[in-house]
Amino acid sequence: MKRCCIIQNLIIDKFIPVVNQYISLNQRVGYLGEEYAVGNSSFSPDYEGLFEDRSLEGIISYIYIWRIEELKEEELLKQMMVKFISTLAEENEN
């Protein structure tokens, strides 16, 4: 499975459900903009519980580590593309 899919699945299957235990979607979606507002929540946010959740800390660590690896791969791809474009430019000059 591709790393991007692993991260996406981790966010959808693990991260979001844990966060939902402490802060409802209605409360979080407002940060995206007023057009995304769903309505008022019946629940109070529990930020203290959120920041004390050990499993959430682990999930965030996995996401962070895998994202670092993705960025390394993207940088290598960028370097290869720059080299390829440079080679093509040199061939066009000759």
Does pLDDT of 43 surpass 80? yes
Cα angle 4, 61, 10; round to 5: 40
Q: What is the mean pLDDT of residues 75-92?
A: 93
Residue pLDDT, tens place only, 59-78: 999 999 988 988 998 999 99
Q: What percent of the chain has pLDDT over 90?
A: 55
Predicted local confidence at residue 2, as pLDDT: 63
Tell me the C-alpha distance between 71 and 79, whole Å: 12
Query: Rounded to the nearest 10 degrees, what angle do helices 54-93 and 3-10 cross at?
Result: 150
Question: Per the structure block, which two tokens stand in for 3?
Answer: 């790393």
pLDDT over 80 at 39, yes or no: no
Mean predicted lDDT score pLDDT of the chain: 88
Over residues 3-34, the pLDDT tens digits come to 668 888 889 999 999 999 999 888 888 777 77
